[in-house]
Chains A and B, each alone.
Chain A
Amino acid sequence: MLLIKDLHASVDGKEILRGINLHIRRGEVHAIMGPNGSGKSTLASVLAGDERFQVTSGEVLFEGESLLQKKIEERARKGIFLGFQYPVEIPGVSNANFMKAAVAERRRAMGLEPLSASEFLKLMKQKAILVSLDPKFLSRAVNEGFSGGEKKKNEIFQMAMLEPELSILDETDSGLDIDALRIVATGVTKLHNEQNSTIVITHYQRLLDYIVPDFVHVLYKGRIIKTGDKELALKLEKEGYDWLIKDFEK
């Protein structure tokens, strides 16, 4: 589904990604871990098409098509979803209207007719229940006055609405208490199936108790320095990154 070859990217002339190679197949869950500043969020932003980053070399193929020339919204319509670490507020724009526009774009890209108002309303309610989002948030302005947990739940709700092929969840667990973490993680698990793929960027292994990864990658100084399975995450939780970094610096 996603093939990243020797990807280099920088911001303001400073190189952050220094040769990422990654292959993600349909139905897989990949976790990306690593110390602060290793380039995890940059990788997510670059895959989404954030124009603040410059790709200096390398290639990214999504479903066999080159991704890097495509605009943010074109990538989104093809089924790439980014769950933001810090979802922004859009005052005065209701969640429902926002999602109506977004779902219409996604459906149009897939060659589908827009949903009728009643079909859309039904879908929204159903997905809100699936991810345990109180339906009262649907009529409220996007993220405005939402708590940290509600913002993250809203991200997962949007993911449920858009049914992406590839979801990239950037520190979805940050700032959540144990209960909110369980709700958000359970939502993600429910949405995962054999037909889609998920990249989970996280600092903590606790999220991976719910979302069990097929692969765990450790990112350090813009490169993947280690790939393993779920056991690697457990080892990192216990021992930290130092042993890996020492190996790498040698």
Chain B
Amino acid sequence: MMNNTTLIDKIDNEDYEYGFQTDIETETIPKGLSEDVIKILSAKKSEPEWMLEMRLRAFRHWKKLKNPQWGHLDIPEIDFDDIIYYAAPKRKTTIEGELDPELKRTFDRLGVPVEEQMALAGYAVDAVMDSESVRTTFQKTLSEKGIIFCPISEAIRNFPELIKKYMGSVVSYADNFYSALNAAVFSDGSFCYIPKGVRCPMELSTYFRINASGTGQFERTLIVADEGSYVSYLEGCTAPRRDENQLHAAVVEIIVEKDAEVKYSTVQNWYPGDKNGHGGIYNFVTKRGLVMENARLSWTQVETGSAITWKYPSCVLKGDNSYGEFYSVALTNNYQQADTGTKMIHIGSNSRSRIISKGISAGYSQNSYRGMVRVAPGATGVQNYSQCDSLLIGSKCGAHTFPVIDVGNNTAKVEHEATTSKISDEQLMYLRQRGISEEDAVGMIVGGYAREVLRNLPMEFAVEAQNLLSLSLEGTVG
């Protein structure tokens, strides 16, 4: 009996290899959401008065809103007074200014390079644990080019003019229920500013880790690419394996000025819950970019984690000749639910967009693509191409697509293609007959199916993402 239990534990742990918890002292504030809590939070971060005012305004608005119900999701009632809104490691650094050894061990184990000498060339990291950034690498190297890369809490104190100008300019607190909540209680995330004409010499990345139990994480990221600049940014995330559900409600805003280009990639691997649907992260995210004249914004996401995902990285193509891209692989297994997609809002003339969405459903999961392509009446010569594919593994899961096309100008060319397929017995037989195991065969077929999206990721992450897809599908066959 003992042996059996240990074995089952082991298998479950192997399914989600980032499910460990770091044993560190954490400072938390009492549960619950109120103006007092927001004041404490703001004080913890030594914020200026104007920031607190912004938070309180958002909070007062949020209280008037209701949790959105339109997603193809079954969301259990969330008690927002039962969440801890601030948790941070008590000790971030040693007396010598080094990252605390326990934190370092954690990020090492997650494969996040928090020491500059250990890092892959060209890869800077901001590591966020619960509500606080604990380490940001290569800040000095980047600042030589005028690039700002720092925790958003720091940016609020050090660059108030930039924050006042840009924060909330793309995703207003009034945008939706979770953007209002986030604007009221956001904790940490990254701020990036790339000055005019500068090509960022390395990948910037933020790694979000939830560690403390009973908490919510409210990521806030703001990326500003000034005229003619370029940056590639990567976001990763994991959390311990727990029976409770934890909320991660993020807002990411990107401003891509004239002639600039931003590539934003996400490998989302929050704890998805166990095989029976217990536990897991609720990932409710608003991501949007404003794309000016001749500018380009490319979203690439690989979504394998979270119990529930509600996420629509979008592009407001405001400038003429602007270009927006959305490449997505969303994989759901067991009892996971995902409702994800994008909006391409064409305001500028000759703006173009491309949507490639690949859904993979296995187990008892529900996987929806929700997309909107809108062409404003004054936008001429707009082009959009959308392709939404669904792949089903097994017969108990669901795949759904909810595309909306709203064209207000008759010079637009909008194309939409969709397919639904299953992994066939013939394909599995074929690969297995060449000596490849059934699980590897499924991984290979899924990797091939997702290839068009994966190849948009920076090289080393493409490999990681492919492995993640295979790992997330373990136990779906046989």
Of the candidate stretches A83-91, A111-119, A196-204, the one touching chain B is A83-91
Q: B residues within 8 A CB of A231?
A: none
**In contact, B435 and A92 (Cβ under 8 angstroms):** no
Number of A residues whose C-beta is below 8 Å from B?
30
Q: B residues within 8 A CB of A91?
A: 448-449
**In contact, B452 and A76 (Cβ under 8 angstroms):** no
Q: Contact partner of A52 among B425, B435, B447, B450, CB < 8 A?
A: B425
**In contact, B432 and A72 (Cβ under 8 angstroms):** yes
Counting chain A CB atoms within 10 Å of each CB, the highest count among B434, B449, B450 belongs to B434
| A98-B444, A101-B440, A141-B448 as given contacts; A90 in contact with B435, CB under 8 Å | no
The answer, yes or no, to whether A50 is at the interface (CB within 8 Å) is yes
Main secondary structure of the interface of B (DSSP, over half): helix
**In contact, B451 and A158 (Cβ under 8 angstroms):** no
Segment 65-82 of A: residues with Cβ below 8 Å from B: 71-73, 76-77, 81-82
Q: Contact partner of A105 among B426, B435, B449, CB < 8 A?
A: B435
The answer, yes or no, to whether B143 is at the interface (CB within 8 Å) is no
The answer, yes or no, to whether A61 is at the interface (CB within 8 Å) is no
**In contact, A88 and B435 (Cβ under 8 angstroms):** no
**In contact, A102 and B436 (Cβ under 8 angstroms):** yes
Return the CB mask of A91-104 against B: 1 if under 8 Å, else 0: 11100011101100
**In contact, A73 and B444 (Cβ under 8 angstroms):** no
**In contact, A93 and B430 (Cβ under 8 angstroms):** no
Q: CA A97 – CA B445 in complex, angstroms? A: 12
Q: CA A71 – CA B478 in complex, angstroms? A: 12
The answer, yes or no, to whether B376 is at the interface (CB within 8 Å) is no
Segment 368-416 of B: residues with Cβ below 8 Å from A: none
**In contact, A88 and B444 (Cβ under 8 angstroms):** no
**In contact, B433 and A90 (Cβ under 8 angstroms):** no
| A101-B436, A105-B435 as given contacts; A92 in contact with B430, CB under 8 Å | no
Q: B residues within 8 A CB of A86?
A: 426
Q: A residues within 8 A CB of B435?
A: 73, 76-77, 102, 105-106, 109, 162
The answer, yes or no, to whether B99 is at the interface (CB within 8 Å) is no
Closest A residue by C-beta to B445: A90
Segment 47-65 of A: residues with Cβ below 8 Å from B: 48-50, 52
Q: B residues within 8 A CB of A87?
A: 430
The answer, yes or no, to whether B438 is at the interface (CB within 8 Å) is yes
The answer, yes or no, to whether B437 is at the interface (CB within 8 Å) is yes
Q: B residues within 8 A CB of A81?
A: 433
Closest B residue by C-beta to A78: B435
Segment 323-349 of B: residues with Cβ below 8 Å from A: none
Q: A residues within 8 A CB of B452?
A: 92
**In contact, B434 and A76 (Cβ under 8 angstroms):** yes
The answer, yes or no, to whether B431 is at the interface (CB within 8 Å) is yes
Q: B residues within 8 A CB of A158?
A: 434
Segment 448-469 of B: residues with Cβ below 8 Å from A: 448-452
Return the CB mask of B242-273 against A: 1 if under 8 Å, else 0: 00000000000000000000000000000000
Q: CA A77 – CA B433 in complex, angstroms? A: 9
The answer, yes or no, to whether B424 is at the interface (CB within 8 Å) is yes
**In contact, A72 and B426 (Cβ under 8 angstroms):** no
| A93-B447, A93-B448 as given contacts; A88 in contact with B424, CB under 8 Å | yes
Taking A71-B432, A101-B436 as known contacts, 8 extra A-B pairs with beta carbons closer than 8 A to each other, sorted by chain A number, are A50-B429, A73-B437, A81-B433, A90-B445, A90-B448, A91-B449, A92-B452, A105-B437
5 contacts between A and B (CB under 8 A): A71-B432, A90-B431, A98-B434, A102-B435, A141-B448
Q: Which residues of B contact A (CB under 8 A)?
A: 424-427, 429-438, 440, 444-445, 447-452
